[in-house]
Structure 1
Amino acid sequence: MIDSHCHLDFPAFDHDRAAVIARSQALGVRKMIVAGISRQHWPRLWNTVQTNAGLYAAFGLHPYFLAEHHNQDLLALREYLTRYQDHPKLCAVGEIGLDFLLTDLDRQRQIDLFEQQLELAAEFNLPVIIHARRANAQVTACLKQAKLPRAGIIHAFSGSYEEAMEYIKLGFLLGFGGAATWPRATRLQGVLKRLPLEHIVLETDSPDMPPAWLATGQRNSPEQLPQICQQLAAVLGISSAELAAQTSKNVQRLLNLSA
């Protein structure tokens, strides 16, 4: 299995990061994509992926932290992408996108930042990892305008079937994780059932987005991905082995992860 979205560089893992990675890989989660959120986090993110086999980096400016981002951060992102563009550990630009759920975040500034990062992804021929909350129509519009040479992943997809198909038409993969394991997530599970397996990927978003079996406030980790896979395979009516194999193939095809 491949965890297509996690944050193993976060302080929540500082006391046992190596052990979590070892346990996850022993359970079959062989590769993990660590998504960036801000310029300040990129150095520790890169150190995390550099010092652990099977981890890969994405650098980006997350819309949730809009107040922390400055114009020079885009220049810094270009510098990072230039420095590591030929490194096998760099796999995407992300986590980028739009968050319209949080009303105190300036929408136009979010859009401007998102579009500029899409331009960088196109320039460096990299896929994108996208955060989209209550913003699927605007994200889709930006993607159509950007005309990326490579597509990407819509992280933690929670939209409608119609929105999913708009992304799929653009070549995107849709990330599913802990949110879809909750009994109340019947609408999301209904969407999942209708999607082609070739466009689904698995993720944890750890330490966040816990699956249904973790207690409130308990840290999520890539160790949970096998059980997430089992739960979602049951929703789809297929074996967990089939879901694991196909979703890993999907991520590998998109990101060209090294062995």
Structure 2
Amino acid sequence: MHFIDTHCHLDFEELDDELDLHIRDAASLGITKFVVPGITLAQSKSLLDFKLRYKQCHIAFGLHPYFLAPESGNEMDELCQLAQCHRDKLSAIGECGIDAKCNHLELQQALFTQHIQLANTLALPLIVHHRQSHHLIAQAFKAVKPQYGGVIHAFSGSVQQAKYYADMGFKLGMGGTITYPRAQKTHAVIKALPLTCFVLETDAPSMPLNGFQGQPNLPKRLFDVFEHFCSLRDESKQEIAHQLYSSSCALFSI
């Protein structure tokens, strides 16, 4: 079985000291490809060199809502130029989105719309961050319809919201959250929607699995996410793994 971690921050300093070991550990479990999103302008630029060092990594450019500031409008202009220059190296646009717990909500909404426009221009999928903002994301999608789908990262909404995103051409990113007993709403989504609606992710070094709280999350934990995902489905593990891998490859043109 082969796996793709569709959302992990392998360039973060928490993993830096032993990154080669972490990648080898993941590969021993069949996790051989990774999608590494951008979160700031400077970090997006740095991913170009990171991708050269780690051929198994596929990258995206984006401005994460958490890091936005009043000057981020100018940074978005530069990010668009950077993405257009390096289109052949990109697998997606993001991490972008709307986070109701972060500052500058109006700016977040404006820049998210620009991310959608950029993804449409470059024929790329989106990696979408959300927190208490499904209604605002839906507004943005109504204003500018994403043409190439993407992933709703760390999806934790209702079955109705899940179906809305699936109808818009998006996959639902399933990560460590599903390993917690309290994640009943997400478990219901996994049981209710077709297998084609999902991809797997770790968000390493963030979003630790149940039993590993307080520790940096690791790429190899994707296999644990897979095991929990399988426990909520009726298909065989081989069928589930094949479909998740196929969906991930198709979405990110891997």
Same fold (TM over 0.5): yes
Distance 1:69 1:222 in 2: 33
User: Contact 1:178/1:228 (CA < 8 Å) preserved in 2?
Assistant: yes
- Confirm whether residue 65 of structure 1 aligns to residue 62 of structure 2: no
> Cα offset for 1:186?
1.6
User: Contact 1:155/1:175 (CA < 8 Å) preserved in 2?
Assistant: yes
> Cα offset for 1:97?
0.2
- In structure 2, what is the equivalent of residue 55 of structure 1? 57
Distance 1:68 1:39 in 2: 14
Report how many residues are paired: 252
User: Contact 2:156/2:185 (CA < 8 Å) preserved in 1?
Assistant: no
> Cα offset for 1:31?
0.8
> Cα offset for 1:86?
2.1
- 1:32-91 CA deviation, whole Å, 9 max, x = no partner? 00011001212332222221121100110001112375222112211221221123xx10
- In structure 2, what is the equivalent of residue 232 of structure 1? 229
Distance 2:207 2:234 in 1: 24
- 1:176-198 CA deviation, whole Å, 9 max, x = no partner? 01001111212211121101111
- Confirm whether residue 223 of structure 1 aligns to residue 220 of structure 2: yes
Counterpart code for 1:91: S
3-state secondary structure, aligned to 1:236:
coil
Q: Which runs of 5+ in 1 are unaligned?
A: none
User: Contact 2:69/2:104 (CA < 8 Å) preserved in 1?
Assistant: no
For the aligned residue pairs, the C-alpha RMSD in angstroms reads 1.4
Change (3 A) 1:191 1:143: same
Per the normalisation by structure 2, the TM-score is 0.95
- The 5 Å alignment of 1:1-259 reads 1-67=3-69, 70-87=72-89, 90-100=90-100, 102=101, 105-214=103-212, 216-257=213-254
Counterpart code for 1:99: D
Q: Which runs of 5+ in 2 are unaligned?
A: none
Change (3 A) 1:68 1:228: farther
- 1:206-241 CA deviation, whole Å, 9 max, x = no partner? 000011131x21011110011110111001233333
The percent identity for this pair of structures is 36
Task: Using the TM superposition, name which of 74-83 and 196-205 deviates more.
Answer: 74-83
Counterpart code for 1:58: A
Q: Could you list the structure 1 runs, at least 4 aligned residues long, displaced by more than 6 angstroms after superposition.
A: none
User: Contact 1:61/1:69 (CA < 8 Å) preserved in 2?
Assistant: no
Distance 1:106 1:42 in 2: 21
Distance 1:144 1:247 in 2: 28
Counterpart code for 1:155: H
